[in-house]
Structure 1
Amino acid sequence: MPEIPDLNIFRKNLISKLVGKTLSKLTILIDRQLKVPEAALKEAFEGQVLTDIKRVGKELHFSFGNGHQLGVHLMLHGTMYWYEVKNEYRFTIAELLFDDGTGLAITDWQKAVILTLDPKPVKVPDAMAMPAGYLKKVLPKSSHLIKTVLTEGKTVIGIGNAYVDEILYEAKISPFSIANKIPEENIDVLTKAIKTVLTKAEHHILKNFPDTITEKERDFLQVHRPRETQTLSGEEILKAEIKKRKTYYTADQVLFE
């Protein structure tokens, strides 16, 4: 699943190529996840100028001149590709064709990509824009595992399965720690780790895949390494499952319970 570092790069490159252009045609090839008829999407967006693209958590919101927004959640396997005039990519969910012939194909072999007409405002902060002391206020109220709290989208948005493992590894906190058992000083470390890990990851992707809207770069990750037995530092990677999420961590991550 693309997370904050990936989506920030995707957003930049999409803006560079699409903003200011008019959407000539929107085609929905698979409507399994649509909550409104295709006709409603076409009416809202066709013939409109794309004015901006924002990242909201793990979604991209395409804003058009008439005030409507198209929300795109790529889910686990959703991918975007450029095409010129004609799209030949398999498993296409939707095609956005602009007035200069530039096309954007949104694909997903699992057919799980979610497209939303005018997404509702999000009430919790983004992981990269948390108010000062925010986690100190909210974590003591939760008796859930810290990995669940950081990924479920009810406390903070934008963090997914891969990067939460990286963040907890950086903070040296076990993913099995109970949120309200984590001491204040460790919450400070966790808060810093969130920004550090996500910022470094974005810089890495920007350096190695500056023009990408498809790559979900993971080879540089420290502990979330499904095919490896050791971290980049040589520590043994322990593997488990938390609420059906594959989880990777090390023995020196402290368990608070």
Structure 2
Amino acid sequence: MPEIPDLNIFCTNLAERLVGKKLKDIRILIDRRLKLPEADFKTALEAHKLVAINRVGKQLYFEFANKHVLSLQLMLYGSMHWYEGKNDNKFTIAELQFSDGIGLAITDWQKAVILSLDPEVSKVPDALHLPVGYLVKALKGKNKPIKTVLQEGKVVQGIGNAYVDEILYAANLSPFSIAAKIPEKKIGVLTKAIEEVLVEAEAHIRKNFPDTITEKERDFLKVHLPKHKVTPKGEPIIVAEIASRKTYYTEGQELFE
């Protein structure tokens, strides 16, 4: 699943080619997850200029001059691909054709991608823009594992399965720790780790895959490494499940319960 580091880079690269162009045509080939008919998307978006592409949590917002917004959530296997002329990409969910002939295909073999028109913006703060001291208050009374709390999107927006494991590893905090039991000082360490892990990951991807609009390898991660048995430090990686999510961590991560 593309997460904050990937999506920030996608925004940059999509904007470079698409902002300032008019959307000539939008075709939605798989509509099972639409809340509105395709015709509403066409009426709202076609023939209007794209003025910005931004990330909101795990969604990409395509913002048009007439104030309408197309939201794209790629989910687990969604992907984007450039094309010109005919789109030959398999498992296409939607096609966006712009005025200069460039096309953007959105694909997903699982058909789980979500397209929305003018979505309601969540008030939950983004992981990269947490107010000072926010998590200290937000975690009070939360009696779920910290991994679940960080990932479910009700306290923090934008953190997915891979990077929550990386953040907790960086903070030396067990994913099984009960959120409300974590001491304030440790929450400070966690808050710092959230920003550092996400910023460093984005820098790595941007350096190695500067033009990408699709998710790339994550072999640079330190603990969420399905093909590895140990971290770069040689610590054995433990694999477990939390709320049906495969979780990667080490024995040394501090547990609060």
TM-score calculated relative to the size of structure 1:
0.99
1:193, 1:161 → 2: CA distance?
15
TM-superposed CA distance for 1:69, in Å, is 0.2
Residue 240 of structure 2 corresponds to residue 236 of structure 1? no
Q: Deviation string for 1:69-101 (max 9, x for gaps)?
A: 000000000000000121100000000000100
**Structure 2 counterpart of 1:210:** 210
CA contact (8 A) 1:11 1:60 kept: yes
Q: Does residue 193 of the first structure (1) align with residue 219 of the second (2)?
A: no
Structure 2 equivalent of residue 172 of structure 1: 172
- 5+ residue gaps, structure 2: none
Partner of 2:187, secondary structure, is: helix
Aligned positions of 1:1-257 closer than 5 A:
1-257=1-257
**SS state at 1:88 partner:** coil
Structure 1 runs of 4+ with >6 Å offset: none
2-side partners of 1:215 and 1:39: how far apart? 30
CA contact (8 A) 1:82 1:103 kept: yes
Unaligned runs of 5+ in 1: none
Give identity over the alignment, percent.
Answer: 65
Compute the TM-score of the two structures, normalised by the length of structure 2: 0.99
3-state SS in 1 of match to 2:132: coil
**Could you list the per-position Cα deviations for residues 121-178 of structure 1 after superposition, in whole angstroms to 9, with x for gaps in the alignment?**
1111000001000001111221111000000000010000000000000000000000
Residue correspondences, number: 257
CA contact (8 A) 1:85 1:97 kept: no
Cα separation, 2, equivalents of 1:210 and 1:22: 25
CA distance in 2 between partners of 1:157 and 1:30 (Å):
27
Residue 217 (structure 1) shift: 3.1
Rounded to whole Å, the distance in 2 between the matches of 1:11 and 1:138 is 29
Q: CA RMSD in A?
A: 0.6
